[in-house]
Structures are given as structure tokens and as C-alpha cells.
């Protein structure tokens, strides 16, 4: 029986990456939305956008260039979510990373019943996490 030196084994071991669950990602996003100090820009009728509109980064940058942040650009700019693998600077990129459908986009961003604030949007994102 060979005796193994633990320090030799750990010196060559690759780090194990523990990825955030869908729930953890959504809760992180809700926290970012809730803590943002200004009212976020709200996209309308996202559930009807086609794949080109959703995947076009210009849709995020146009809003950003007007100095208006939105929930998607907040997620994209977050270093924690970036470290977890959020790469796409488009609505579709965030959708894929957060594992959201277009119907779920409507669930957290719908203003059919009137304007919603950041806290309400965060509550809706948290609901999607459950």
C-alpha cells in the first residue's frame, strides 16, 4: 500500500467551479434591480419581439446611450453574473443565461396595469425564482 502525500495531490488538483443555480442567478438579478437608485427603463411587449430584436445588442445600447439603464444591462454589467458565464449583451443573452422564456419576460416587466417600479420588478423576478 502506497502512502499518498496530501500536499502533492492538492498541488496538482484543478479547482472545482461551483455554478450558481437558476434560482441564485435570478435572486442576484432581483437584488441588482432593487438596489439600483434610479427608475429602470422598461421595455414594452417583449413577449412579441422576434428573435432578431431579442438578440440585437443595439436594443440595449440605444437605451444606455440615453443614460437609461434597464434590467438586462444591469445583469450584463454585474461582475458576479459575468464570472458565472453571462456573456451576451442582448436581451436574448440574458434570457438564455437566466433560463427565461418570452412569457416570463412579460411576467416580470409587464406594465399593462400601470407603471411598475424597481422594487415591484424585483419582486416579480424573485417570484420567477421560486
| pLDDT of amino acid 70 | 87
Averaged pLDDT score across all residues of the chain:
84
- DSSP string covering 78-105, please? -HHHHHHT----SHHHHHHHHT--HHHH
First to last CA, the chain: 50
Helix H or strand E segment including 117: none
pLDDT tens sequence across 55-82? 887 776 655 555 678 898 899 899 999 9
Domain ranges, ordered by start, for the chain: 21-129
> Cell triple for residue 46?
417583449
Q: For the chain, give the number of residues.
A: 130
Task: Report which of 25, 18, 19 is spatially closest to residue 98, judged by C-alpha positions.
Answer: 25
Amino acid at each position: 500500500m502506497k502512502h499518498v502525500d496530501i500536499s502533492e495531490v492538492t498541488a496538482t488538483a484543478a479547482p472545482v467551479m461551483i455554478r450558481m443555480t437558476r434560482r441564485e442567478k435570478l435572486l442576484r438579478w432581483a437584488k441588482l434591480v432593487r438596489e439600483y437608485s434610479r427608475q429602470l427603463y422598461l421595455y414594452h411587449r417583449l413577449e412579441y419581439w422576434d428573435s432578431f430584436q431579442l438578440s440585437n445588442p443595439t436594443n440595449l445600447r440605444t437605451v444606455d446611450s440615453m443614460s437609461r439603464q434597464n434590467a438586462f444591462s444591469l445583469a450584463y454589467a454585474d461582475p458576479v453574473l459575468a464570472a458565472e458565464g453571462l456573456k451576451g449583451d442582448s436581451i436574448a443573452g440574458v434570457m438564455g443565461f437566466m433560463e427565461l422564456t418570452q412569457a416570463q419576460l412579460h411576467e416580470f416587466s409587464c406594465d399593462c396595469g400601470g407603471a411598475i417600479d424597481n422594487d415591484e420588478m424585483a419582486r416579480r423576478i424573485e417570484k420567477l425564482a421560486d
